[in-house]
Structure 1
């Protein structure tokens, strides 16, 4: 589990909900009807979600990643376990397992452990760093699969169940609620997370987040911790809306091909909000619009602040990237934006990803996942696309680019020329007053 909130008295709230149908009722009259708030097992005389959840549990697997061990080796130098996590079978016939990229990263070999005690070797179908998702495949008979439902139907307050193999334990089920939707803010990644207070710990990574009927609504990917590294009640899951698009792309073409609109975006923050004279701190700022693009045709301009997309609130540039990135070319996307304090609307048409390694807009250069604009001391990175070459190389927003392959770069035109074409590039950047070398493969 990559990161980590407070478990907010979920059990006491549930106990109160359970007590409601019992007020004024005795004996058999207390048995819940289909319209009742809590499922009731009249045979055992207990409230339980087991009937729905038990159908999903056999499809939750443990994923072990094996890699090259460090130090002296002996024998045949077989790969050894380097990490483990969880996964969910979403296609039993083909043996398709979805998990996290960070669970399988660096692995040479992968195994999948089932609840019935069987263990199988698996092959890696593909990964997507931007959403931290990965797809494995293995051959076996008698598999179960989890039904996947549309995460767009979720509401804050819905019950949620996390399943996985945390902290070296066997399969474990925890319960909480949907604490929030559309969460982002952990960088300009492809972010649109489900937040839950169901207990999620190390080893839960890649496991499913289920609704109260045992249907998959997301894949647990990170936690927000107060410092101890354990569960504090805030966990995040990639919603099924994004999950199924990414899995489909990895299965069909082996990579994720994201759409674009030609709008180059940065995230709104308190400082920039004051510069714009706005009373909000959430949104995506249009830094530039590529000539001839869909965004230009829709009338977007530099300085516009996108506040909603497809009727969803925009937290930062990652929110927009999450929506545009899973839309098929030709899809029309509705956005609401602010310009000079006035609200405007535009319809963007998603375009197929371009083949040009460098895009030069008005005062902005985009190349290999980095977006840079002119600064007082030369080109400065203001956004890095999650999962891109630039992100993988360690480039960060705020970096000042001074050299490319030991040649000085003083303006955006020079940066564009230096990064154009294929091949590896070595960047010398200033970060916090110190020189840092970045290698872009």
Structure 2
């Protein structure tokens, strides 16, 4: 099933269509038409739909080709024309206006990832070039900004109040059909372990979500934003009634940090955790299962300073129950550096409370220009344990690339994994440093990007 998970983006031509669909349920009041009192979502949607936008992107992609094509003698000998090394690719997604005055639009990171140009189209047909404010690949949330008047924002709701069975409405641009509305119910809450993002706490819904819906709104019957549509389970690429949205309780704190800092300043405790299964609970002589079992405590970390130990079971953080390892990781990942927290743990069968302070990650990073001026504008770092490719790929991660810089113009993008320099494998920053400093001519980088790999030559 996991292989069928697909991001809900596409590259179709945008049309204009919006629908209203009847529903009844327990979330909020049931909107009615002013004319005859029939149940209808139309009054609510008339206020919300203008706040959902279409997002189109243009990305320059390096074309992989045989190295012989780069040899001028080879091309002249066989009378071969010069081939373009890059091509433009376009894609469509959705977004939600969350601040009409400032022009902030929330969407998915995978909608705008590596985009060279971002265009936002409103329901009234106006087009605006958007500027990327910040993106967080770990939660798949991104913020872009447009300069426009007379915008409509969608107010945030509290996804923590959702229950399985509550009615919800999805709004977006499936297959390029902008402002399309579908309705359904909340099928499940707290979905994690799907391998879609680093931090997962998804709302599952049967409201029809299709390619192009990514970044669109999931609203309750009061028209409040309770989620951002992000992925589907669809073996054929279409909807089969299983869609996922990032809850507003996760989107809001990430959005606030992206607007303030341009990135998420995510702290850490310095522990490795796993689910406390019934078998593990029995082996540890515990009468309960559930919670996050601490398997490792990093030396010198915030957890070590707080006195946490391997074998402790975290069952609550600041009074909120922790059901599993993913729940603890999500809770800590949303806390800012320096935040004081109280963890309720079970140690040797006894309940205890431990105070800890969220610490700054000790991730090794560096500015690539310090090694080679050809890489100016890129920031590199080690591959962290939470990265989807951790343990599968060795190399260094591109943490950020300044738009318009030499590294950007050469084709490097945030999230790329550099696996070799001048055909010399690099497993970490030390090996990358040695390879880059010894290179006297153009740098030839082998880059892992998603499920594919490309060579990038930086002159």
1:137-156 → structure 2 map (5 Å cutoff): 137-156=145-164
Change beyond 3 A, Cα 1:195–1:315: farther
User: After the TM superposition, which of the residue ranges 308-317 and 170-179 deviates more from structure 2?
Assistant: 308-317
In structure 2, the partner of 1:61 is 53
Mapping of residues 21-60 of structure 1, within 5 Å: 38-41=30-33, 43-60=35-52
Change (3 A) 1:138 1:367: closer
TM-aligned CA distance change 1:176 to 1:424, over 3 Å: farther
Q: Secondary structure at the match of 2:6?
A: coil
Q: 1:346 aligns with which of 336, 348, 353?
A: 353
Query: Retained in 2: the 8 A contact 1:87–1:206?
Result: yes
> Is residue 217 of structure 2 the alignment partner of residue 208 of structure 1?
yes
| Structure 2 partner of 1:170 | 178
Aligned to 2:136: 128
- CA displacement 1:208-252 (0-9 Å, x = unmatched): 111111111111111223x22321222221122221221222222
Q: Helix, strand or coil: the match of 1:56?
A: helix
CA distance in 2 between partners of 1:288 and 1:139 (Å)? 48
* Compared CA separation, residues 175 and 228, structure 1 to 2 (3 A): same
Q: CA deviation at 1:84?
A: 0.8
Cα RMSD of the aligned pairs, angstroms, is 4.3
Name the SS for the 2:251 alignment partner: helix
1:105 aligned residue: 113
1:218 matched to 2:258? The reply is: no
1:327 aligned to 2:335? yes
**In 1, distance between residues paired with 2:190 and 2:430?**
35
Residue of 257, 266, 278 corresponding to 1:258: 266
Q: Which residue of 2 aligns with 1:370?
A: 385
- Residue 227 (structure 2) pairs with residue 229 (structure 1): no
Closer/same/farther in 2, CA of residues 159 and 367 from structure 1, 3 Å limit: same
Task: Tell me the number of residue pairs that the alignment of Structure 1 and Structure 2 aligns.
Answer: 365
Note the residue ranges of structure 1 that are not aligned, 5 or more in a row.
5-10, 19-34, 359-365, 373-379, 396-404, 408-414, 427-435, 437-441
**TM-score normalized with structure 2 length:** 0.67
CA distance in 2, matches of 1:164, 1:254: 25
Contact 2:30 2:221 (C-alpha < 8 Å) held by counterparts:
no
Cα distance in 2 between the residues matched to 1:66 and 1:40: 41
Q: Is the 8 A contact 1:151 1:218 kept in 2?
A: yes
Call closer, same or farther: CA 1:274–1:167 in 2, change over 3 Å: farther
Between 272-281 and 61-70, the greater mean CA deviation after superposition:
272-281
Residues 2 and 271 (structure 1), Cα distance of their counterparts in 2 relative to 1, 3 Å cut = farther
> How much does 1:327 deviate?
1.6
1:149 positional shift: 2.5
Structure 1 CA distance for aligned equivalents of residues 51 and 143 of structure 2: 15
CA separation of 1:270/1:204 partners in 2, compared to 1, >3 Å: closer, same or farther?
farther
Return the TM-score normalized by structure 1. Answer: 0.69
The yes-or-no answer on 1:2 pairing with 2:9 is no
Match of 1:199 in 2: 208
Give the corresponding residue for 2:364: 357
Pairwise CA distance, 1:253: 1.6
Paired with 2:432 and 2:274, the residues of 1 have a C-alpha distance of 26
Residue 202 (structure 1) shift:
0.7
Q: Deviations over 1:10-38 (max 9, x none)?
A: x99x56x69xxxxxxxxxxxxxxxx9963
Partners of 1:209 and 1:36 lie apart in 2 by 15
Q: Distance in 1 between matches of 2:313 and 2:233?
A: 28
- Distance in 2, Cα, partners of 1:205 & 1:145: 18
